[in-house]
Amino acid sequence: MTIYNFSAGPAVLPHEVLLQAREEMLDWHGSGMSVMEMSHRGKEYMSIQAEAEKDLRELLAIPANYKVLFLQGGASQQFAMVPMNLLRGKKSADYVNTGEWSKKCISEAKKFGAVNVVATGADKNFSYIPAFDTWQRDPNAAYLHYTPNETIGGVEFNWVPDSGSVPLVADMSSNIMSRPIDISKYGLIYAGAQKNIGPAGLTIVIVREDLIGEVLTGTPTMLDYKTHSENDSMYNTPPTYGIYIAGLVFQMLKRKGGIATMEKTNITKANLVYSAIDASNGFYHCPVATSDRSRMNIPFTLKDAALDGDFLKQADARGLLQLKGHRSVGGMRASIYNAMPLEGVQALVNFMGEFSKLHG
């Protein structure tokens, strides 16, 4: 039986990448060493990291005036690093509140300065993205922060906010690499790796050079982007194996046609699931506004919550794993990141159809 893992993260990795990692586990390219054993300052590992950065820059068309940093601490550490580094003498920053991750980010930012919440979806239980013309922005804000995809609530921006001269900051942990993005529209992008890039433990930051170097007084050395920029992400030992796996994923994406090709597949996969939900005559329901539905994380409920247990049990028996919704939302959630094959989504849709016929 083929297993399909719909976990929201750490999430499924490309099968061919795992196979390659298995082949290279004990001996990377004739070096006699596993990547996990290598000195991060040895020529073998340094070539791995350099190749990973080169391929990431190519895939995302990252301009030369942006630094790519391989960090640790997850997106949660970036919730603090962003205001520490980007307030840059200003007293406040603008934040958009579209769900659980936005709320956590806002809470952390308040420790370092004033936070102006320009818009919130709280009035409808974070089931939509507030229209841009309703945002109450501050033209003097240090930056504008938003979360393009909310993993828990399943809302996703299908547009990029126009922040004007104010640097735009985005937590792309759950949708980076899933669609083309114009990096030049952003001051800073950060992303935990464990959705679309690689294993947990690696965090990628893409930051415009002019935003580096003016931190809050008392900022620890390790939380200063300049520290990592000036040392090529090797001020301390980087998450070497995570970077290695990320590099393999980048190579695979290049072989498969790049981010634009990946987006087409992601649209197809998401449409399959949403079509199954919408055609179920109310047996399944997605609470998210149609225009703001996520391609990566699809929450849905059954018409009778008493059926949830049977749905999950039978799904598990079919090899469809990790479909239980987040505890704060309930119901089900199918996370269909880049590495989820079309066959896995089709298997889920087939099961959903059979289950609704039996219990509808």
Helix (H) or strand (E) segment spanning residue 104: helix 100-109
| 297-302 and 332-335 beta bridge pairing | antiparallel
- The radius of gyration computed from the CA coordinates of the chain, to the nearest angstrom, equals 21
- 304 catalytic residue (yes or no): no
Q: Which residues contact 178 (CB under 8 A, 6 or more apart)?
A: 196, 259, 262, 263, 266, 295, 296, 337, 338
195 is a catalytic site residue:
yes
Respond yes or no: is residue 159 known to be catalytic: no
DSSP state of 173: T
Are 97 and 128 a contacting pair, CB within 8 Å? no
Beta bridge partners of 5: 321
Cβ atoms of 319 and 1 within 8 Å: the answer is: yes
CA angle 68, 69, 75 (to 5 degrees): 115
DSSP code of residue 293? B
Q: If you search the block for the tokens 């479909």, which residue do you land on?
A: 323
The active-site residue out of 101, 224, 292, 324 is: 101
DSSP run (H or E) holding 226: helix 225-230
E strands, the chain, are: 4-5, 66-71, 92-97, 114-120, 144-146, 149-150, 155-156, 168-171, 188-192, 203-208, 284-285, 297-302, 320-321, 332-335
Out of 55, 94, 171, 292, the active site residue is 171
- The residues near 338 (Cβ < 8 Å, ≥ 6 apart) are 14, 177, 178, 196, 253, 262, 265, 266
Tokens at residue 247, please? 């590099």
Catalytic residue among 28, 67, 103, 195: 195
User: What residues are labeled active site?
Assistant: 101, 171, 195
